[in-house]
Structure 1
């Protein structure tokens, strides 16, 4: 008699592994199926070049929920987060701005460009921290459905309203503006210096096919401001050993609690009978049955790829077909023979955090303009890190890794997505050429480079259209609308099928929230009993 599991998790990304860990911790018999040879999905570390460990896609830790770290004892299984010390912005004219974890030092840096902004910056940080504390319970719990008349939902709405009033008039207005304004416009209300506003505004475009002047990007800025390490908001960090160690710690916790994990086990389809998910069929033809199936892949791949449109209600099918993915970013990882030196500021202290190539708002908008017409940006926004400066385990002694997140690289090129393999190296050249304007001699110290386009992310990592968040974080795809109206609580219209990936509330980023909340919803449903 073949084994029937309580739950099968499709996809071994960090969210799927977190779902597995919580279910196994509750005593359920759980199987995780990952199609690649390595776990992690987009949060993966790989030694692509001998001696150098790349955080292949996801490259920093910012949103991982602290209570998940505690619940699953992730440090016991290898999680070690090193806080970023600085945010460095080099400028083409040889000047630079660095925002430090020391408020007084940051104030002096900003004052070189605008004494007024230096005075305003602390107030801005306090306001964002206050709004972040208001938002925190929203992203740490199931999405509130304003259309529900159930007593539990109504009570949650009432509590939210009370907390909203507690923000105070000024912050209430700021929060409402953030829901609709562009990141650039919102920052214009606070600051005057483009040197400061440009690197701050880019948090509003991460993972979206929008520009910093596009309405709605102010919320995405807030989403990334929710980063929290040891209770400190706006805290980002490196995972020692690469971002994949976050996933491996989640996997360690899942196995500790009794979950079974299989790699190189690609799922072909979800086994359906009478409108109910009964398990999965692997690509080799094996059938594995379970009481419930939880998908850690994006909604479109889940429903149109694994379930099949014929099993979906027409209205739900329409909603998923309109769900926006539109990958807009790429990744370039470099193995370097020595530490790069920026012409605008020698030394390495300012390089122990992230480095933003975002010299002006106009520069960022011009990068977006090219993407709108199906071209990758010839002068892109680049967010780079050198994790080897603080984590010597990822490179040989004296050598370094330079990890670059790049936007814009639209999945939908004007020649079609299938043209990306022909353009991959030209895209990589553009990134290196842009960096070389700030780092003289960079090309001479590159030992190896890995270039990932959105097409590569789809083919290699299973991210449909290369979207790193399993769907854009636009206003119409958040909270009770993620991934579709009436289906934001992880349960899907297909009986016994659940979503546990970033395409579910609270959305993308290396946070683990969708995985944890999906597990709690599954356990509450009683379907695994």
Structure 2
């Protein structure tokens, strides 16, 4: 997989720190543009968090281990790099089980969705409000999505764009008023409000009423992908996406070295000196015309000689990012039975929301903010294999086996620092109990067993993600998401990847318009390089 660079070559036009999907995207674009490219990856494989893995001993099932679905990767990136990837649309948007039934949102059957709203709420008012609200976000998405692959527009231009398309209420609702206020005004039912609110809380530890509006920024990125907001299943798993990007980079001429740990970055007027150690522990050095940081901004700061506390395992400064999720990967012998009479295939084909009414979300946030694992952790579940069974080996593909991934909300890093193992176990127990509260049978009864007879279940906390993938504080977006436009006059027309060092650029999720599996920051960093003089 990895190519060793020519040992006689001491200078590259571009050196990229990190072979996550954004680093690979940057490498592919820069190399296709004629630049010499070296990618240095700490792990022994590429892909970062966008990987597939076989986490269960002796079990032939390749799970998307850390990231699951694709929405934000522009079709433009897929087409420009000629990536041989297939994304499958999910018919069912979501299912939310509650004590007296459940809410099933079927994107292909308005009548069935209307009936489901009526059964849950006793009227059709929230169904009508749902249609209006998401028609508004869809139009905003249609206007905003094309701007993500262009230089940054000023805030005023985006405001005019949104207001011209859908009116001033849309601008206020998405960009100025806390999400909680908007949802309470829009929907009468607490469950319906919660289903909408979760898009503002994925990987973001926030109260829906926070004046910082970071929940609004998270919500916006979850509804604007490719102008539709659809979250699609990558056929072959997330590893197929990073694998295609790796192949595109190598085919274009990029050199990729794994088990290569960058130890320092020293920018100067004529280049950037990069020190790294190879798999044998030897110290190496190379000069870059540009250094592209596919790693997190906190890690780049450390490599530049900044705060050494911003290091996994060290005492984190107050400004250090904080993740907020519990990830649980499972292989089931079959789908569990539900308390409702809904078809389990329909319920699990989209996003299954567990204890995510607005009140439940707010209660869980308050408990976590006070330093407690929530009593009833909210979570959502995705079942990859109902859309794509290619990730299962032949012996499983012919059975009723299914892979599911659970994403637990409001599980901030602070809950796991002092006692990583004990708090992980407590969080898992509480989360499984929460899930079982909406099922007709315990999830444990349908877990498959690995070659050693152990349940096929893997749990990762933010602290685990920090160690596994190098995400500071386990933050899946590297840090809180930013608005997808320039917030100052001098940033307008730039790409949102620039740093105080002209030859050092962000190329990962921590850039403006970063987050999610998108390739947008990697492409943006490459555009800056390709727009400058070679070297």
TM class by shorter chain equals: 0.7 to 0.9
Cα RMSD after superposing both structures: 2.6
Q: Who is 2:43 aligned against? A: 36
Instruction: Indicate if the aligned counterparts of 1:74 and 1:249 stay in contact, CA closer than 8 A.
Output: yes
Q: Who is 2:388 aligned against? A: 391
1:178 lines up with 2:178 in the alignment? no
Q: Who is 2:115 aligned against? A: 108
Instruction: Indicate if the aligned counterparts of 1:479 and 1:488 stay in contact, CA closer than 8 A.
Output: no
The change in CA–CA distance for 1:207 and 1:441 in structure 2 (over 3 A counts) is closer
Cα deviations by residue, 1:414-453 (Å, 9 ceiling, x for unpaired): xx72422332222222222211122213112223111110
Q: Who is 1:437 aligned against? A: 437
Q: CA deviation at 1:174?
A: 1.9
TM-score by length of 2: 0.86
1:473 lines up with 2:468 in the alignment? no
Q: Who is 2:457 aligned against? A: 449
Instruction: Indicate if the aligned counterparts of 2:481 and 2:512 stay in contact, CA closer than 8 A.
Output: no
Q: Who is 1:143 aligned against? A: 152
SS at match of 1:309: coil
Q: Who is 1:67 aligned against? A: 76
Q: Who is 1:82 aligned against? A: 88
Instruction: Indicate if the aligned counterparts of 1:329 and 1:405 stay in contact, CA closer than 8 A.
Output: yes
Q: Who is 2:450 aligned against? A: none
Provide structure 1 residue ranges, at least 5 long, that are not aligned to the other structure.
Answer: 147-156, 312-319
Q: Who is 1:371 aligned against? A: 368
Question: How do 1:5-16 residues align onto structure 2 when only pairs under 5 Å count?
Answer: 5-16=12-23
1:205 lines up with 2:201 in the alignment? yes
Instruction: Indicate if the aligned counterparts of 1:107 and 1:121 stay in contact, CA closer than 8 A.
Output: no
Q: Who is 1:521 aligned against? A: 528
Q: Who is 1:187 aligned against? A: 183
- Report the count of equivalent residues: 495
The change in CA–CA distance for 1:400 and 1:123 in structure 2 (over 3 A counts) is same
SS at match of 2:44: coil
1:245 lines up with 2:243 in the alignment? no
Instruction: Indicate if the aligned counterparts of 1:275 and 1:495 stay in contact, CA closer than 8 A.
Output: no
The change in CA–CA distance for 1:6 and 1:411 in structure 2 (over 3 A counts) is same
Q: Who is 2:402 aligned against? A: 400
The change in CA–CA distance for 1:6 and 1:321 in structure 2 (over 3 A counts) is farther
Q: CA deviation at 1:275?
A: 9.3
TM-score by length of 1: 0.87
Cα separation, 2, equivalents of 1:271 and 1:219: 33
Comparing 191-200 with 449-458, greater Cα deviation is found at 191-200
SS at match of 1:189: helix
Q: Who is 1:316 aligned against? A: none
Cα separation, 1, equivalents of 2:471 and 2:107: 34
1:338 lines up with 2:334 in the alignment? yes
Corresponding residue to 1:269 among 264, 270, 291: 264
Provide structure 2 residue ranges, at least 5 long, that are not aligned to the other structure.
Answer: 1-7, 309-315, 448-454
Q: CA deviation at 1:341?
A: 2.2
Q: Who is 2:466 aligned against? A: 458
1:54 lines up with 2:63 in the alignment? yes
Instruction: Indicate if the aligned counterparts of 1:43 and 1:57 stay in contact, CA closer than 8 A.
Output: yes
Q: Which runs of 4+ in 1 moved over 4 A?
A: 159-162, 271-276, 320-324, 484-488
1:329 lines up with 2:325 in the alignment? yes
Cα separation, 2, equivalents of 1:343 and 1:226: 33
Cα separation, 1, equivalents of 2:73 and 2:366: 32
Q: CA deviation at 1:179?
A: 1.6
SS at match of 2:272: strand
Instruction: Indicate if the aligned counterparts of 1:386 and 1:401 stay in contact, CA closer than 8 A.
Output: yes
SS at match of 2:256: strand
Q: CA deviation at 1:173?
A: 2.6
The change in CA–CA distance for 1:165 and 1:178 in structure 2 (over 3 A counts) is closer
The change in CA–CA distance for 1:496 and 1:310 in structure 2 (over 3 A counts) is farther
Q: Who is 2:164 aligned against? A: 166
Instruction: Indicate if the aligned counterparts of 1:300 and 1:321 stay in contact, CA closer than 8 A.
Output: no
1:427 lines up with 2:423 in the alignment? no
SS at match of 2:528: helix
